[in-house]
Chains A and B, each alone.
Chain A
Amino acid sequence: AQSVTQLDSQVPVFEEAPVELRCNYSSSVSVYLFWYVQYPNQGLQLLLKYLSGSTLVKGINGFEAEFNKSQTSFHLRKPSVHISDTAEYFCAVSEFSGCSNYKLTFGKGTLLTVNP
């Protein structure tokens, strides 16, 4: 079984500042890693995912994340945030192989609030 810990429930930042949203996972097997964003009254939208290959993954809206296997982390970063990035961000994992690679396990989410 896997678990995901998002260390910060809320992250307030000023517009144009850099941001890092932290995610750590626990699993007995290799995993796929995902970041989803949820805007108010909207469904979850995939920002980026790590399946294999380069550990630095670039996603939509200028976000990127780095997979660190030794630290079991997958932190999300953006060098300069906009007001429109205000949303809840969820980190998720699924098994790399086997029969359950479709089953996403989510963290509790981090509310990013970008202030002017």
Chain B
Amino acid sequence: GAGVSQTPSNKVTEKGKYVELRCDPISGHTALYWYRQSLGQGPEFLIYFQGTGAADDSGLPNDRFFAVRPEGSVSTLKIQRTERGDSAVYLCASSLRGGWETQYFGPGTRLLVL
């Protein structure tokens, strides 16, 4: 079956611009996660959705970052007033119910802020 998909695969933007990154989880997975992977680092947790609600957004670095999952399936990560330090690969993952269950990752969106 289809895995987690993310669009776009690459995004180049200018400092100060607004960007949206999309994640399509595996069908039927209620849990969805966003992670950020900076160059030379492992992924870092950003936010966890259970259904439509953000159950844990403690990893979002500041209020320029926001994510939604209005229908409990597709999620969008939104970054306002982008900064060069936001350049990273943004990874999305989903799992069937959450908790310790296996998280299945998408290929990521590589964001470059010039």
Contact = CB atoms under 8 A, between A and B. Distances in A.
Interface of A: 4, 32, 36, 41-46, 49, 51, 90, 92, 94, 100-109
A103 B48 CA distance: 8
A51 B100 contact: yes
B48 to A, nearest CB: 6
B100 A32 contact: yes
A12 B39 CA distance: 20
B43 A104 contact: yes
B46 to A, nearest CB: 10
Interface of B: 3-4, 31, 33, 35, 40-45, 48, 56, 91, 93, 95, 98-108
Given A42-B107, A45-B105, A46-B103, 18 more contacts: A36-B105, A43-B3, A43-B91, A44-B43, A46-B102, A90-B43, A94-B100, A100-B56, A102-B31, A102-B48, A102-B56, A102-B99, A102-B100, A102-B101, A103-B45, A103-B56, A108-B41, A109-B41
A45 to B, nearest CB: 7
A103 B95 CA distance: 12
A49 B31 CA distance: 19
Contacts of B98: 102
Contacts of B93: 44
